[in-house]
Amino acid sequence: MTSITLINPADESVIQTVEHSTIERVDDAVARAVDAQRRWAALAPLERASALRRFASAVDGDLENLARLEVANSGHPIGQARWEAGHVRDVLTYYSAAPERMLGSQIPVAGGLDVTFLEPLGVVGIIVPWNFPMTIAAWGFAPALAAGNAVLLKPAEWTPLTALRLGELAIVAGLPEGLFTVLPGRGDVVGERFVTHPLVRKIVFTGSTVTGKKVMAGCADQVKAVTLELGGKSANVVFADSDLEKAAATAPYAVFENAGQDCCARSRILVERSVLDRFLELLEPAVAGVRVGSPTEDSTEMGPLVSAAHLAKVRSYVPDDSQVAFRGTAPDGAGFWFPPTVLLPGSRTDRVVTEEIFGPVVSILAFDDEADAIALANDSIYGLSGSIWTRDIGRAIRVSRAIESGNLSVNSHSSVRYSTPFGGFKQSGLGRELGPDAAAAFTETKNVFISSD
Ligand code: NDP
């Protein structure tokens, strides 16, 4: 059996070693999940709801511990990590209402009664990346469990600690043994086995577009359902008529949060040409003001990158001859640090403009008018997120309808809310997570006609 030694990204100290799951262990977990799911789905809806509420309460009781695990394993600032643990609790609480609201419909037909049922799929495999280990896991497992499924969860190799703890908390909360199993391990072993195992009926994958395509192709082999949350290169579009002070003051946090390791990062700032110079003047002190430092400090706003390998990847996008407008600060010494960096690329096709860097690097481009802004925002294989800054309500409506993206905010950089749907257009993904309909995405609709003869 192989293992991974986890390294604290802020100081490069060794945290612990985690054993990888084997294919045999995955197969055993699937068999136990099949059994647990049948019993779980047969419970009264209120019993499933109560179990999820106990799970939420166990997470709440462990909030500080979960947050500290994320600080050590992923380098997330403690304030952010506490928010993430609280978000997991809130997602569980939100979907604990779903078991009693899995509503089918009654459809008028001749000769009898026609009703639909939302039947659970069975066993669901959830594959999670390293950027938001516990929140992204919860977006999958909470609605999947609520809809009556069993869940197998594969955390990213680098960041398994909060997922493993959530697996323990599920047992503490009294969820049936085998219903929710966390299987740390390699993507090309554990993740691939989820895809190829015939009794895993749906895959929820979050990660890179390259791996997502591979997962989708694998799912096609068994006509397996799949939800994909993939990369992004989102635009923050700033019009001349906007509140420029506010747009500039908030722009750093829309891209440098989580050190830019965020699929929703607004990593292209598009500014109307007539106000570009003024915007840059306002942006420079805002970038310098981002507090980059030890993730254990309450005041820290940005921590290190997740790993040495990822730091090398981010660095490769900013060679010495890059057109750097200005940078923020970052600590020296041990740890995988990279300062907030603002680029002024010479062309709209530069790779820093088109590729997902997944680090604290933002490119600024000028546009001429509304049509140019829309064309530039849409000039991407991705379409996940984005922001629009304008005081003209008509323009806000036109531009938000025209941008090909799943999640937009006007005069703000709203983060993800558990009560609203989240997902991408184009190569940013397939399907939606969160919001009122997420539990239904873990069901098959069954139609039953009952003759009145
Ligand atoms: P991956 O997409 O490779 O990893 C995401 C998850 O998929 C991990 O759990 C990984 O396991 C697993 N996985 C890897 N290969 C397979 C496979 N063949 N079958 C099933 N599961 C698999 O992302 P990377 O970690 O390699 O990151 C590369 C880049 O992707 C980043 O720099 C960033 O640009 C982008 N990315 C985007 C994310 C997003 O939220 N949109 C999240 C993460 C990355 P393991 O950890 O063992 O490799």
**Per-residue model confidence as pLDDT tens digits over 318-329:** 999 999 999 999
Picking from 152, 135, 143, the residue whose alpha carbon sits closest to that of residue 36 is 152
Q: What percentage of the chain carries pLDDT values higher than 70?
A: 100
List pLDDT tens digits, range 327-386: 999 999 999 999 999 999 999 999 999 999 999 999 999 999 999 999 999 999 999 999
Q: Ligand 1 pocket by C-beta < 6 Å: which residues?
A: 127-131, 154, 156-157, 186-188, 191-192, 206-208, 211, 214-215, 230-231, 263, 313, 356, 358
In the chain, domain spans: 3-230+428-451, 235-417
List pLDDT tens digits, range 70-126: 999 999 999 999 999 999 999 999 999 999 999 999 999 999 999 999 999 999 999
d(CA 303, CA 77) in angstroms, rounded, equals 6
Q: What is the pLDDT of residue 271?
A: 98
Whether 229 is a known active-site residue: answer yes
Question: How far does the centroid of ligand 1 lie from the alpha carbon of residue 207, in Å?
Answer: 4
Locate the ligand 1 atom nearest the alpha carbon of residue 356 and give its number.
Answer: 34
> Mean pLDDT over residues 296-317, rounded?
98
**Angle in degrees, CA 265, 266, 270, rounded to 5:** 165
Shortest-distance Cα residue to atom 24 of ligand 1: 208
Given a cut of 90, whether residue 414 has pLDDT beyond it is: no
Q: What is the pLDDT of residue 415?
A: 74
Shortest-distance Cα residue to atom 13 of ligand 1: 187
List pLDDT tens digits, range 256-279: 999 999 999 999 999 999 999 999
List pLDDT tens digits, range 1-57: 799 999 999 999 999 999 999 999 999 999 999 999 999 999 999 999 999 999 999
- Domain 3-230+428-451: what homologous superfamily? Aldehyde Dehydrogenase; Chain A, domain 1 (3.40.605.10)
Whether 355 is a known active-site residue: answer no
pLDDT category at 252 given cuts 50, 70, 90 is very high
Question: How far does the centroid of ligand 1 lie from the alpha carbon of residue 300, in Å?
Answer: 27
Q: What is the pLDDT of residue 54?
A: 98
Q: Which fold has domain 235-417?
A: Aldehyde Dehydrogenase; Chain A, domain 2 (3.40.309)
Q: Indicate left, alpha or beta for 435 from its phi (over 0: left) and psi (-120 to 50: alpha).
A: left
